[in-house]
A = this chain, B = another copy of it.
Amino acid sequence: MKKERLFTPGPTMVPEDVLLEMAQPMQHHRTAWYRQMHEELHGLLQYLFQTKATCLTFTGSGSAAAEAAIVGCCPPGHKALVVVNGKFAERWEKVCATWSIDHTALPIDWGHGAKVADIQKAMDADPKIDTVIVVHSETSTTALSDVEGIAKLTRDRGAILIVDGITAVGAIPVKMDDWGVDAYITGSQKALMLPPGLAFVAVSDRAWERIESGKMPTLYNDLKAYKKSLGTWDAPYTPAVTLVRGTLHVLRGVKERTLEGIWKETSLLAKATRAAAEAMGMKVYATDVVDSVTALLVPEGVDEGALRKTIRAKHGFQIAGGQGDLKGKIVRLSHMGYVDAFDTIGAIAALELTLAEQGYDKIGLGVAAAQRVFAEDLK
């Protein structure tokens, strides 16, 4: 027997009860059943984003929803600052370029998160900037941005803040209203432990003013249509009904476990993984580490491709490699969703076994260090 365990930072493992919830007989979406589900889902999404704002459900990937939010919030006459610190941040800059949105890119070193001082400097230098786009948890580099601090700055300056929260929301602290974020985006296949296919955008009143001032030159991705349909708890276009049903099921569980509880659990898994890495002599890649995903530098002399291939083929663990310049240099392990201490200990054990095959023998060291972290937490 070889069990498969997904440790990739999305898609993540989907709980068995969620898979079966989504395997229930098909239901139509123009029904009281869907409207009731949508209304309850909306309340739970507000809890997830910690907001009283409107929360929109898109059928599409996180990129579709992020594109809709960026284009909606940046009609002509506005200027965006995009902090570029990884593959996903690069994509949002590409959205601005594709749509001819007036924008400036602020490149920062990979592995670092967006910081208040850099953004403040860029805004001081160019007073036309009235929109800031940052990635909360840059999945490609596992770097954490200071969204709370940046939101304070953008509120003080009357600017709109758009945050890609795709591997942040539901995994690490996200407090949209307390912080003052204007558009927060996430996807179904990360901390929400669902298959890919849905994306969610929470939109503040300030962002709606901006969005409603401009004409959105697209039909399917026009946020206004989604907002309008919320009035009757409908969807403007046929939604991915089974995934919506699964999301409701997951979010009921999230509320029961509480976000604070989940943030703490995720953080503990990340802490244990980092402790294991240190004990194994492996370096954590990111400078500003996030708790939803951990990137580890592959030790000298170890072949990253062979490592990932073997750990999957022999032990059933799927871990991610690096993207772009980081290809071949790092491996990434997710701490999001349906993953617990013993899955994580298993992943570390499998990593040790696989590294040992390549002559890098630290068997037992990482596992013990991770166990110590969990033991400490039990006290």
Contacts and interface: CB of A to CB of B under 8 A. Distances in A.
B238 A11 contact: yes
B61 A237 contact: yes
Copy tally for this chain in the complex stands at 2
B13 A238 contact: no
Contact of A197 (B59, B63, B95, B318): B59
B67 A197 contact: no
Nearest to A65: B220
B94 A196 contact: no
**Residue with the greatest number of chain B CB neighbours at <10 A, chosen from A13, A98, A220:** A220
Contacts of A4: 25, 27
A195 B11 contact: no
Interface string A216-249: 1111111000000000000001111111000000
Contacts of A216: 98
A72 interface: no
A28 B8 contact: yes
Interface in A1-37: 4, 6, 8, 10-14, 19-20, 22-31
B25 A197 contact: no
Given A19-B23, A240-B240, A241-B195, A98 B219 contact: yes
26 contacts: A8-B30, A11-B27, A11-B238, A13-B25, A14-B25, A60-B64, A61-B237, A64-B220, A64-B221, A64-B237, A67-B218, A67-B220, A98-B216, A98-B218, A98-B219, A98-B222, A99-B217, A187-B238, A195-B240, A195-B241, A197-B197, A197-B241, A197-B242, A197-B243, A220-B221, A240-B243
Interface of A: 4, 6, 8, 10-14, 19-20, 22-31, 59-64, 67, 91, 94-95, 98-100, 187, 189, 195-197, 216-222, 237-243, 318
